[in-house]
Chains A and B, each alone.
Chain A
Amino acid sequence: MDFNDTPEEAVYRTQVKAWLEANAPKRYEGGDVEEGGAEGSLGMAAARAWQAKKAAAGYAQITWPKDWGGAGGTPIQQVIFNQEEANYPVPGNPFQIGLGMCVPTVATFADQATKDRFVGPALRGEEIWCQLFSEPSGGSDVAAARTKAVRADDSSGDWIISGQKVWTTGAQFSDFGIVVTRTNPDAPKHKGLTMFWVDMHDPGIEVKPIHQMSGGSGFNEVFFTDVRVKDSQRVGAVDDGWRVSLVTLMNERLAVGGPSGTGWAQFLETARSVPGLDGAPAIQDRALREKLADWYVATEGLKHTRNRTMTALSRGQTPGPESSIGKVVTALQMQDLANTAVEMLDQYGIINDPELAPLHAAFQGSLMFAPGLRIAGGTDEILKNIIAERVLGLPGDIRVDKDVAFKDLPTGR
């Protein structure tokens, strides 16, 4: 038991380090890709340039097969690259949803010509993709999609898409998207869906940023108004979209990001400088110390759970189910820790002015972001269902909507 690379991993790491040292930026070149995101901004330009460099060197999608333009490498090599890349002030990565989920889905079901058309530009950061699954009436229940696609009545074989998607990350700067649509409302909900790829520049597609409760706008609503697509843009068979979307979701990473920098160490630092109940530093408060210990233990537990996952990858094994616990623990802890920190400041805790609040109001920021983190990429409740069903082997929920035509399902909000 140790934390060392195998000899092969060490060789790979040395090679990656040398390449990064020669090619990675040494200074952060501003611009928040997710939030600002306007095409042509410094952040996006830097992100595209860095992605192109990685692609040319075979580091863009290390585990992709070589005929997709990948390196045909192993998952542990990708982990090693990510670890080393994190040591440099590289730009944000707006390509991950496309490369991790959308493009593999299209490439799995499309013909060679379509694959050739899309894989290269996505890999080099020239084209960005978004995933259009969630809808106002269905978040956890993706198969409840109502956005409809109907055949054009001109015998062209084209489809006309109308409806609304929501919580679409990066739609504002995406060139393409994959969209789940309802093509057969007479069939039960899982059996009447079809997936298409769409050109996000189509005039019938309107992208509106969502104003989050945290103040930012990292996600969008996407409206489809009679968007005409070719039948060749269909991904998989008609009414087989649920199976296709499972390919996408299989690749979904639960490592949904959020503002970091509000962990136990920042709490400890703040608690040293803030007075507690009796005027002595708050860190001497026993109740706070117990909480601090719990957060440290959970943080360490997750860190070493990742080390166990990496070990499985290093040995060429499939990681065990333990890797599924990360987001549930992280999101809840972020909320609890931020709230405890804010309460520790007493009346002063209501101030979220970065000029005045400790750590530039990082705790207040996390407090307001945490509710989103508990929902994004699978709610706490859905993730616990997944652990119960896929890890522990407990039965799935009883489905009252399984054998009912979609159009006959009761609907609420």
Chain B
Amino acid sequence: MNFDFSDDQKFLKGEARKFLEAHCPPARARGVIDDDAKAYDADLWTAVAAQGWLGAAIPEEHGGLGLGHLELCVIAEELGRAAAPIPFASTVYFLAEAVMLAGDAEQKAELLPKIAAGALIGALATSERPGPVSAAALKATVTDGRLSGIKIPVTDGDIANLGLVLAKENGKPGLFLVQLDGEGVTREAVGTLDPARDAAKLTFKDAPARRLGEAGVGMELLEQVLDRAAILIAFEQCGGADRCLEMAKAYALERYAFGRTIASYQAIKHKLADIYIKNELARSNAYYGAWALNTGAAETPLAASAARIAASEAFWFAAKENIQTHGGIGFTWEMDCHLYYRRSRQLALVAGAPRVWKERLVSHLERRNAA
């Protein structure tokens, strides 16, 4: 049994933590949140690119480090822990993974080196209205290689160079690569729960669009992209959830009420134990997801669903109970609790809400356990 990361991967994780503690204290996220003009931390993005993290899982022939997805997982966990205000998920988990999964040789050769170098920011554009994304309700349309329609919200849509857009072509869904800083695209920033992760409304009018992968299989392809992203995001969520538990514990130990530390009251002890239990369940599910992602196992959709559901629940619970443990001070703008509360919502929604994944999970179970 070898269900853990290797010593090399753990070393990488340790190095990533050191790097982010030095380059991404909570003040970096605040720098973006407090400045409406700032959509992300460009300096941090450049520094992260210089570390090679953007290309951790991209093959060497395409300018990446050629490490693998397990290495990307440990980096993701540290980015989540630091609540990093950069378009890492949009660019790496969504765009790079989609290109590696379905791109042709030309697309890979063109895009992957740029992503690895930090010269290209990506964005996933699937949502058009309130409620889950579905093929039936999809309105954006590609005709003769030109995209028209509206996407809202698109995380990092205001800063991305290249969008991965879900749209219909000949009546069937497909995924398309669209230059967002090119012709036929209008972008408007929209306010978000987590201002360290901006989003935009994109209006397309005859914007040039290149299809990624086969025609007509957009939903299937999107599911595969989301499975991969869900596992990587689960590691960010685990990192954030563990950070919340650390914050709650540290505060409970130093805060006194009625003559003793609040950490000595069972109401607080049991709350923190509950956070710990959820965090460990999430971590174990995320590990299984990492294994599936790295080996391309047939179980990947189930593993991804379980990882996403467990990690979304754990981060939400840890983030909200961290504020509760802090009491009044936890509700202030100055405390960092809300950065994680905000990020927990951003990550739980950005690849589709947990209830959508629960439905997917049960559908898979029904098929697997067919009577």
Chain A residues engaging chain B, CB cutoff 8 angstroms: 1-6, 9, 76, 264-265, 268-269, 272, 283, 286, 289-290, 292-294, 296-298, 300-305, 307-308, 310-315, 322, 325, 328-329, 381, 383-385, 387-389, 391-398
Contacts and interface: CB of A to CB of B under 8 A. Distances in A.
Given A268-B369, A304-B285, A311 B277 contact: no
A387 B276 contact: yes
Nearest to B276: A387
A215 B54 CA distance: 61
B277 A3 contact: no
Contacts of B253: 394-395
B298 interface: no
B371 A269 contact: yes
Interface string B210-243: 0000000000000000000000000000000000
B3 A381 contact: no
Contact of B252 (A269, A297, A394): A394
A393 B276 CA distance: 12
A382 to B, nearest CB: 10
A3 B1 contact: yes
Interface in B306-352: 306, 309-310
Nearest to B303: A300
Contacts of A1: 2-6, 70, 287, 290-291, 294
B358 A289 contact: yes
A311 B274 contact: no
A235 to B, nearest CB: 33
B285 A387 contact: no
B277 to A, nearest CB: 5
Interface string B180-191: 000000000000
A395 B310 contact: no
Interface string B271-302: 01110110011111101101100110000000
A238 to B, nearest CB: 33
A307 B123 CA distance: 36
The majority secondary structure among interface residues of chain B is helix
B30 interface: no
Given A1-B5, A1-B70, A307-B3, A293 B281 contact: no
A275 to B, nearest CB: 16
Given A387-B273, A387-B277, A296 B264 contact: no
A50 B294 CA distance: 43
Max chain B Cβ within 10 angstroms of own Cβ: one of A5, A76, A387: A387
B4 A269 contact: no
A304 B295 CA distance: 17
A297 B357 CA distance: 11
Contact of B266 (A264, A307, A325, A397): A397
Given A293-B361, A302-B284, A5 B6 contact: no
Nearest to B268: A394
Contact of B288 (A292, A298, A304): A304
Max chain A Cβ within 10 angstroms of own Cβ: one of B294, B361, B369: B361
Given A304-B3, A313-B1, 19 more contacts: A1-B2, A1-B294, A5-B1, A272-B371, A293-B357, A294-B309, A296-B361, A297-B306, A301-B285, A302-B281, A303-B284, A304-B287, A322-B283, A384-B273, A385-B270, A388-B272, A394-B249, A394-B252, A397-B266
B281 A301 contact: yes
Given A1-B287, A297-B285, A325-B281, A310 B3 contact: yes
B269 A2 contact: no
Given A1-B287, A392-B249, A301 B310 contact: yes
A90 B135 CA distance: 53
Contacts of A304: 3, 284-285, 287-288
Contact of A384 (B70, B269, B309, B358): B269
Nearest to A313: B1
17 contacts: A1-B3, A4-B1, A6-B2, A272-B371, A293-B309, A296-B306, A297-B310, A298-B281, A305-B281, A307-B284, A313-B1, A314-B2, A315-B4, A322-B284, A383-B273, A388-B272, A398-B260
B47 interface: no
Interface in B1-32: 1-6
